[in-house]
Structure 1
Amino acid sequence: MIGGVFVVGALHLDVVVGAPHLPAIDETVIGQSVDCRFGGKGGNQAVAAARFGASTAMAGRVGSDQFGRQLLKELDGAGVDRTQVVVSDGKSGMSVAIVDSSGEYGAVIVSGANSAIDGQMINVPESAGVVLLQNEIPEAANVAVARQAGKQRTVILNAAPAHQVCPELLDRVDLLIVNRCEAEQLTGTRGAEMPEKLAALGPPAVIATLGADGLILVRRDENDLRLTANPVPVVSTHGAGDAFVGALAAEMARGKALESALEFAQSAAAIHVSRKVENRNRIGRREVLAFMNDS
């Protein structure tokens, strides 16, 4: 179905710290920088989908604090319809991420208002062709939205952070997206049998993004598809997964075939990791298409 993208997910204020390496237990590391950014997988993916040309709406929840107002302002600036983003008493969600000198990172999330998202109060827009979910909100909310989406829409679950997903949700998902770490946690393996175990999770298609090693697409009754990564200098991988998922959803909402949408999304993520943070919001569909033509 061709239509817009509807994202149900978390909104966070991200505190991002630059450091030479991630601290070990009992270790104190001298940081090099600190920055506060718009975040949450739902928010990031909604903004990315809008930036890559999709008519995008979001459902979520923020607190009645300064951070919540800042998050809503970012959605407005990106052109995301936030009619179903609720402002509630209490604090907005936050995360703290530490990015090391190689661009890799680790993060801690405090859900705040996101933990009160109620799927029964969410209405999937008739115009939505793609419904995008993640694991940063209560699973019951994801199940309720997936039920409402039905078979006439493409339901994508980005299973991040990784945890075991209930069978009903997996049955209602058309496309499951995980990164290497999440794939290992869900399948219990990192070896050659991983594709087979990913396929056994249930959804008709599963994508595992593998960083510098590209990605693998596993589909029911079809051969696996592997795409190599685009070689680019890495500034930071923080947010790359959300850029990938948002770009993929935007292309699928345009009616593009999954393989074509994957190539676009992988190129979008490559540009994302090669850019300084302050320049990432300028990346658009035209630039990604030009990058693909030059690659």
Structure 2
Amino acid sequence: MSVFIAGSLHLDVVLSAPHLPRADETVTGSAVDYVFGGKGGNQALAAARMGADVAFAGRAGSDRFGDMIREALENSQIDLSQLQRDGGPSGMSAAIVDKNGDYGAVIVSAANLNIDAHAVEVPDRTSVVVLQNEVPEEVNAAIARKARATGAQVWLNAAPARPLSDAVLDAVDVLIVNRVEAAFYAETAGSHRVLTTLGAEGVVYQGRKWPAFSVDVVSTHGAGDMFVGALAAEVDAGRAIDEAVPFAQAAAALHVSLESTERVRMDRARVAAFLAAHSSR
């Protein structure tokens, strides 16, 4: 089986600063890093690093950021046959990480808004299709319909929060949201299975709550995407979602505790070792 992720690609410009700036404030930072990002790309890399056979569909521009995005993906084992090239700029974000590891970001979607959904096909033997809200609603709707026709599970990481059409809701099996998004969708989620990530307070799914692992946080940037990718990899391996949550939590906890140069070396064995060492939580 395999995981298919369709979604956004960004080149994240990550600034380290003592605190997030207030209105009209200029803050002196201490470092800048250029990091592969976008929820779609991050989740695809996470699932691949956690051992899944992953295919990806998305769109990057013809600028230098696009070259950097493609280089990062090409260094993975992901099937990139549906990676589209846009004639304009790539998606990007500017993120500020404070001394506590918390962050705020601004996203410019650019090429992500031009994904050709008609050209996207869900590969055979796909078990889980993962979508996010960083691409147009009609793109998600079209891919979700194709996914349902194959019998694959359809997950929507509904971030950032926005109204969802019936076309999307009717095709989605699981909504994955954080605390803010959960409040936004409280009246529209209906009978959908909703998985809510609560950061340091854990995860809630179908009435059950799992506590978070306690770690020293370097940065929370990308933690949610690591969780989703790891969860998809575990479900693709044959586990039910509730059985897969602890592993995904361990992957996210390890991710936030590592420097960016170490995160690229995360793999399934390292997460499994972390989970075993913290199994008595």
TM-score normalised over the length of structure 2: 0.96
Q: Is the 8 A contact 1:45 1:242 kept in 2?
A: yes
Match of 1:202 among 171, 186, 190: 190
Question: Which residue of 200, 211, 215 maps to 1:232?
Answer: 215
CA–CA distance in structure 1, aligned partners of residues 97 and 161 of structure 2 = 20
Q: Output one character per residue of 1:114-168: Cα deviation in whole Å (capped at 9) or x when no partner.
A: 1101212211101211101000001101000010111611111001111111122
Conserved? CA contact 1:207–1:217, under 8 Å: yes
* Counterpart residue number, 1:191: none
Matched residue, 1:268 = 251
Residue 203 of structure 2 aligns with an amino acid whose one-letter code is: L
Q: How does 1:173-184 map to 2 (within 5 A)?
A: 173-184=172-183
Shift of 1:242: 0.4
**SS in structure 2 of the partner of residue 150 of structure 1:** helix
Shift, 1:184, TM fit: 2.5
Show the counterpart of 2:201.
213
Match of 1:242 among 203, 206, 225: 225
Q: Runs (4+) of structure 1 moved beyond 2 Å?
A: 184-187
SS of residue matched to 1:71: helix
Give the match for residue 54 of structure 1.
52
Aligned length: 277
Question: Which digits, 9 at most, give the CA deviation of each residue in 1:175-202, with x for residues without a partner?
Answer: 1101112223333xxxxxxxxx5xx613
Distance in 2 (alpha carbons) for counterparts of 1:237 and 1:44: 13
What does residue 192 of structure 1 align with? Answer: none
Unaligned ranges ≥5, structure 2: none
Q: Match of 1:236, SS? A: coil
CA distance in 1, matches of 2:125, 2:178: 29
Q: Which moved more, 1:108-117 or 1:284-293?
A: 284-293
Does the 8 A contact of 1:236 with 1:274 survive in 2? yes
Q: 1:110 aligns with which of 105, 108, 114?
A: 108
Identity %: 53
Find the residue that maps to 2:269 and give its secondary structure. Answer: helix
Give the secondary structure class of the aligned counterpart of 1:282.
Answer: coil
1:57-76 aligned at under 5 Å gives the runs 57-76=55-74
- Residue 203 of structure 1: how far off its partner (Å): 5.2
In the TM superposition, what whole-angstrom CA distance separates every residue of 1:211-250 from its partner, at most 9, and x where no partner exists?
11101113xxxxx010000011111100000000000011
TM-score (norm 1): 0.91
Verify the 8 A CA contact 1:170 1:203 in the aligned structure 2: no
Q: Deviations over 1:16-67 (max 9, x none)?
A: 0011111111111111111101010000000000000000010011111221
Matched, 1:22 2:36: no
Q: Distance in 1 between matches of 2:134 and 2:97?
A: 20
Q: Please give the root-mean-square deviation of Cα atoms over the aligned residues, in Å.
A: 1.2
Answer yes or no: is 1:132 the counterpart of 2:130.
yes
Structure 2 counterpart SS, 1:252: helix
Alpha-carbon distance in structure 2 between the residues aligned to 1:291 and 1:63: 37
Kindly report which structure 2 residues correspond to 1:94-173, keeping only aligned pairs within 5 A, or say none: 94-150=92-148, 152-173=151-172
In 2, Cα distance between the equivalents of 1:35 and 1:292?
A: 29
Q: C-alpha distance in 2, partners of 1:248/1:119? A: 25
Deviation at 1:293, TM superposition (A): 1.4
SS across alignment from 1:78: coil
Q: In 2, Cα distance between the equivalents of 1:81 and 1:203?
A: 33
Asked if the contact 1:17/1:32 (under 8 Å) is kept, the reply is yes
